[in-house]
A and B are shown apart, each in its own frame.
Chain A
């Protein structure tokens, strides 16, 4: 399945309190994220899935949304809840050419 349709099709609706939080799936394949930019709402989850045959380590140091999913072996996935509005620069610590900008809106 092409990556972009996969990304869109995989956006899952989750009931979480009074607002509806979504889960957005971002794949890692061929040492690239399946998207270079992503728009989400505060409280949404981004699910990072390692579809490569090598290990990745997704992280961000952006204030308010810093995270480190630590090493992900092939096939593993990790959920990250982005809580604060703003721009989130996401990288793979191991592969610095992998870049994703997430815009989090209130």
Chain B
């Protein structure tokens, strides 16, 4: 119960962060157009949960344990959190992820704000968190635990049997419920309120003048908001942004000419905490990212028409970076769960 109360409190706190009511805006020297742009970035008031997997405290608690449990890997060394580490903005800080089978083909994406995602994975091959959750577990390159072995392995842990019975009354421990619990926990992973949010809500001094200029550029000359739009700074779209690697991305699963080298637009929430950048981890910092977009990317048939040389001045590049630095939120520290272990006899 203590945990439940604590979690609900945490959830309410997180929700309250989402409920910032925009105050009356202060006089804006840039005029009403900037105010209109800001309206597109107001945070939502609640986290969406699907009707067929609604939120419960028991499910979130179980999902958190599963997310942090290395026993969901074949050799008990890797959990979901190994690559999606909350201390590293739910990524791993590496250019390419590392799994049981060695170095992976792409950078580990953050799991922040996936409750709002349309498709999952850099290439969009999963259409829900429930569908995605088991993929890395069974991947021979990542966690390498055959799905047929998941339930028998967890059944040996008394605490899990109890936790599944509480979270899924009448159903208990099933593979589908492993996915549902992890997905429910992941939906609670929401970026904290950032200085940018306080500015959107009317606190004029929350960000610098340079960051405000950067926000305007982000929505105009920089064309960033063509894809990184809305409060989550992504519209979940797929584009070839002209990175010179051979990965065909989305086209592997949706074989259309425009989808060659196309990858999902990631959120920019807390982006300053997730270097290196891009699906291939090829750009070391936000300055390099701005330089990439300024040049317009590698010319090829699939290059997104939204990509074009921007001809940004040094000051404009600095302003764009200043803006992105204001997106780092103030989320509460993540408490690691105690994992259930097999019961041991009290004595002889």
Contact = CB atoms under 8 A, between A and B. Distances in A.
B216 interface: no
Interface in A66-104: 68, 70-71, 73, 93-97
B84 to A, nearest CB: 22
Contacts of A31: 235
Given A54-B226, A71-B305, A97 B235 contact: yes
B305 A95 contact: no
A23 interface: no
A93 B124 CA distance: 10
Nearest to B301: A71
A57 B258 contact: yes
Contact of B235 (A53, A70, A93, A95): A95
A96 B256 contact: no
A70 B257 CA distance: 7
A71 B250 CA distance: 15
Given A55-B304, A59-B256, A97 B118 contact: yes
A97 B256 contact: no
Contacts of B257: 68, 70
Given A54-B226, A71-B258, A96 B304 contact: no
Contacts of B34: none
A95 B237 CA distance: 5
Contacts of A97: 118, 235-236
Residue among A55, A68, A73, A94 facing the most chain B CB atoms (10 A cut-off) = A94
A54 B228 CA distance: 13
Contacts of B226: 53-54
A71 B118 CA distance: 21
A96 B238 CA distance: 8
Contact of B305 (A55, A59, A93): A55
- Size bracket, chain A contacts: 10 to 19
B256 A93 contact: yes
Given A54-B226, A55-B306, A96 B258 contact: no
Given A31-B235, A73-B305, A93 B258 contact: yes
A96 B236 contact: yes
Residue among B119, B239, B259 facing the most chain A CB atoms (10 A cut-off) = B259
Given A54-B226, A57-B258, A70-B258, A96 B124 contact: yes
Nearest to A31: B235
Contacts of B250: 93
A73 B305 CA distance: 8
Interface in A25-55: 31, 53-55
Contacts of A70: 256-258
A71 B306 CA distance: 11
Contacts of B12: none
B254 interface: yes
A95 B264 CA distance: 10
Interface in B230-246: 235-239
Interface of B: 118-119, 124, 226, 235-239, 250, 254, 256-259, 262, 304-306
- Which 6 pairs, one residue from A and one from B, show the smallest C-beta to C-beta distance? A55-B305, A96-B118, A57-B258, A95-B237, A97-B118, A71-B258
Given A55-B304, A93-B254, A96-B119, 17 more contacts: A54-B226, A54-B305, A57-B256, A59-B256, A68-B256, A71-B258, A71-B305, A93-B250, A93-B256, A94-B237, A94-B239, A94-B262, A94-B304, A95-B235, A95-B237, A96-B237, A97-B235
